[in-house]
Amino acid sequence: MKKLLVLSIAVMTALILTACGDEDASGDGNLTIGISLPSATHGWMGALIDNAENQAQEIQENEGIDYVMTNAEDPNSQANDVDDLINQDVDVIVLLPIESAALSPVGQNVKDAGIPLVVVDRELENDAADVVVKGDNEGIGINAGEYFVDQLNGNGKVVEITGPPNSVTEQRGSGFQEAMDGEDGLEIVASQDGDFSTETSLEVMENILQSQPEIDAVFTQDDGMAVGVVQAINEAGREDIQFVTGAGGGKDIFEDIQDGGLISATFLYSPAMIEDGIKVAADIADGSDPEEEEVILEATEVNSDNVDEHYDPDSKF
């Protein structure tokens, strides 16, 4: 009897330990997606966070896959968030890096921990990601540059308002420069970081307007920054600037284009891309191999000719 009792206790202990080992970040044994995003510092990011929450909830309800989502104000905080997700032993991580270089080491931490990594929007500077889901950032820059060449007939003084240091900023900027190379009559007279922020871009543009007495057009790498730039131009009473372009495809920008405002074009970069990233992560968590290592969404130009096709009055962005 004693031997039987000891054996029974040993078997029960082993089963309990096995069950505990199978539990993940949710604590209920379900698969879990960890999602690390920046805070909503501008409209595009706010829409992306909403899309992420809605998609993750839908997957949780329909497929039983749990999720943990964090939002960070700065790269250090985001690195800590990702390390926490690693420690929670989530099954897959979706990461939108605030800054590419700053988050690359923590991306490597994810890889070293054996956790699949889906990177959305801004790429890392290493090969830690299993899948990258992004818009066509270089295409945005190229399409914008070609638009400037066409609208200015190859002659004019141009201002560029960039984003903070990351792959998005670099690719949009290089594409823009590439499209205008060889156009000797086009000159970028100022290029400054607007931090993908309406308020920062307003301040930056105010300073540029004071230092540049002649500007023909402004390329901004983000719709929210375009709004700040336009405000600065209007408040300064400058009438030499022919047009401003953005990137993203926000409802307010579409309305400005429809009304014939100073913003004459934007280039699509939908915040719904996070939905694709989370769907890919759910498939990976469920044991499927990703079909593609890179998913790129088109950088369609939206102007007065086609804005009505893209405008949705009920859109949150």
pLDDT per position as a tens digit, 33-45: 999 999 987 678 8
Q: In this structure, what CATH number is given to the domain that contains residue 288?
A: 3.40.50.2300
* Residue 251, in any domain of the structure: yes
216: tokens are 């023909």
136 confidence band (pLDDT: 50, 70, 90): very high
What are 264-297's pLDDT values in tens digits?
A: 999 999 888 999 999 999 999 999 998 889 999 8
The structure tokens 């931090």 sit at: 195
Among residues 258, 231, 223, 262, the alpha carbon closest in space to that of 244 is found at: 262
**Pair 152, 249 in one domain:** yes
What is the percent of the chain with per-residue pLDDT over 70, rounded to a whole number? 90
How does strand 301-302 pair with strand 263-267? antiparallel
**Pair 130, 217 in one domain:** no
Among residues 43, 92, 85, 11, the alpha carbon closest in space to that of 277 is found at: 92
Residue 63 corresponds to which amino acid?
E
Domain ranges, residue 292: 26-135+271-297
**Pair 76, 158 in one domain:** no
**Pair 206, 282 in one domain:** no
**Pair 280, 248 in one domain:** no
* Residue 18, in any domain of the structure: no
* Residue 68, in any domain of the structure: yes
**Pair 230, 288 in one domain:** no
Q: Report pTM.
A: 0.73
**Pair 206, 186 in one domain:** yes
* Residue 141, in any domain of the structure: yes
* Residue 264, in any domain of the structure: yes
* Residue 21, in any domain of the structure: no
**Pair 129, 276 in one domain:** yes
Among residues 162, 147, 141, 137, the alpha carbon closest in space to that of 242 is found at: 147
**Pair 126, 141 in one domain:** no
Residue 200 corresponds to which amino acid?
T
Tell me the chain's radius of gyration from C-alpha atoms: 24
pLDDT computed for residue 270 by the predictor: 86
pLDDT computed for residue 23 by the predictor: 45
* Residue 116, in any domain of the structure: yes
In this structure, what are the phi and psi dihedrals at residue 191, rounded to the nearest 5 degrees?
-140, 115
* Residue 17, in any domain of the structure: no
**Pair 179, 91 in one domain:** no
User: Cα 4 from chain centroid?
Assistant: 60
**Pair 129, 278 in one domain:** yes
**Based on the number of CB atoms within 10 Å of its own CB, is 120 exposed (0-12), middle (13-18) or buried (19 or more)?**
buried
What's the DSSP call for residue 127?
A: S
Number of domains in the chain: 2
195 confidence band (pLDDT: 50, 70, 90): very high
**Pair 146, 108 in one domain:** no
